Amino acid sequence: MQFYERISDELNELKRLDRYRVLPDIPARNGKKIEINGKLLLNLSSNDYLGLGDDRAMLEGYGTQFRKGSYAMTSSSSRLLTGNHPLYDQLEKALALLYGRESAMVFNSGYHANIGILPALCNRHDLVLSDRLNHASIIDGMKIAEAPYQRYRHRDYDHLEELLAAAAGRYRQIFIVTESVFSMDGDLADLFRLVALKEQYGAFLIVDEAHGVGVFGERGLGLCETAGMVQRIDIITGTFGKALASTGAFAVMGALVKEYLLNTMRSFIFTTALPPVILGWSLLTLQRQTSMSTERAELLKLAARLRRELILRGCDVPGESHIVPVVTGSNALAVALAARLSNAGLLCMPVRPPTVPEHGARIRISLRSILEWEDIERIPEIIGG
């Protein structure tokens, strides 16, 4: 009985702190709009940054292809047993070719990738240095790994260098891990500086491009492509669940690293493989997005305009990407602001701790290339007053 009382008390405490979560009721989600909890709203909380998830022609074309019966809805086993499929091979070859890297691996999700890569590559003889604002999946990966870890201040590469200098010679291998486009702040890692530091200190650099893929780079390969750093980062990860409008994730790397992960990465080995129907769709969206540089440019222009207007009205708007956060600090204020936007027909979810640091509550406006200025022009007035 004590157990049930305790978890009930903890839930009440979450309610008191405005941190209590419930699943939304979403009967329909289509194009710009979403029907949620009985309201039809402009969807500013989707990660479908290029609008590929609602591309009717592509969906229908793919539907015809898989109805012909070639793509199963399940893989029925892990990849190392009987779940592998030629589409995995095609997808991995396409990724390796696009990035110009020796190898690629496809995973069930970005979460699987991040909780599996570090624990496979390092142990207590190694050290992991991680940006303080890295995603929860990276933090969970560090917790699972047996290696000690330290978090450097967000995008503070002088701090990272201090930690590297202090650790030099004391560990078998040092790993640096960062997001490229930070998911809750929309700001960008300095990949030039990170690569320079990694090379100077002989560290191994892992960059999570979850929010960069599809949005940055001429062919949508992410910020690493914009920065010209694709070849100099040891592992680049990306997810299919955001701009690529599918499910799963990938990483590109050297052939030896792939061989090692394939043999040691528990979240790769001990899980049922993705179904072929998803792999075929991922291949299609991956290839399609490479030619969407106009959409990428429009999206970033739209974000820059919104950010400018919000800042003019005195809002605290960090970042420099298509993710536009408006920081309120207090949870209650973030919830109230989201309610105000919802009353005006706009869906911007409030983001509260532990997703963001204590006192860092915000609403997160997630822009997409299918949106136009006219869709969002009321936001600065609603938020800034």
Ligand X SMILES: Cc1ncc(COP(=O)(O)O)c(C=O)c1O
Q: Which residues bind ligand X (CB under 6 A)?
A: 109-111, 114, 135, 137, 179, 183, 208, 210-211, 239, 241, 249
Least gap, CB of 108 to ligand X (angstroms): 8
Nearer to ligand X, 54 or 185 (CB): 185
Going by C-beta distance under 8 Å and a sequence separation of 6 or more, which residues neighbour residue 113?
107, 137, 237, 239, 249, 250, 251, 267
Nearer Cβ to ligand X (133/257): 133
Beta bridge partners of 380: none
Dihedral (C-alpha) 215, 219, 222, 225: value to the nearest 10 degrees?
-140
The residue behind tokens 């792939």 is 258
Q: How far is the CB of 348 from ligand X (least distance, A)?
A: 17
128 or 210: CB nearest ligand X: 210
Distance CA 189, CA 208 (A): 10
Q: Where are the alpha helices (DSSP H) in the chain?
A: 2-16, 56-67, 86-99, 110-121, 136-144, 157-167, 191-201, 223-226, 255-264, 266-269, 276-289, 293-312, 331-343, 373-376, 379-384
Q: Supply the minimum distance, in Å, between the C-beta of residue 237 and ligand X.
A: 7
Neighbours of 212 (CB within 10 A): 31
In the complex with ligand X, the residue whose CB is nearer, 307 or 364, is: 364
The CB-of-153 to ligand X minimum distance in angstroms stands at 18
Residues in the chain: 385
Nearest residue (CB) to ligand X, 178 versus 309: 178
Burial grade of 201 (CB within 10 A; 0-12, 13-18, 19 or more)? middle
Nearer to ligand X, 240 or 380 (CB): 240
Distance linking the first and last C-alpha atoms of the chain? 50
What DSSP line would sit under 15-56, residue for residue?
HHTT--------SEEETTEEEETTEEEEE-B---TTSGGG-H
Give yes or no for a contact between 300 and 156, defined as CB atoms under 8 angstroms apart: no
Which residue is nearest to ligand X, using beta carbons?
Answer: 110
Nearer to ligand X, 103 or 180 (CB): 180
The nearer residue to ligand X, 351 or 383, going by C-beta atoms, is 351
The least distance separating ligand X from the CB of residue 249, rounded to whole angstroms, comes to: 5
| Closer to ligand X by Cβ: residue 178 or 328 | 178
Q: Please check whether residue 83 is in contact with residue 76, taking contact to mean a CB–CB distance below 8 angstroms.
A: yes
Query: Three-state secondary structure along 227-239?
Result: CCCHHHCCEEEEE
CB 247 to ligand X: min, Å = 7
Report the nearest approach of ligand X to the CB of residue 134 (Å).
7
From the CB of 168, what's the least distance to ligand X, in Å? 28
Q: In whole angstroms, how close is the CB of 118 to ligand X at the nearest point?
A: 13
Which residue in this structure is represented by tokens 């500013």?
A: 44
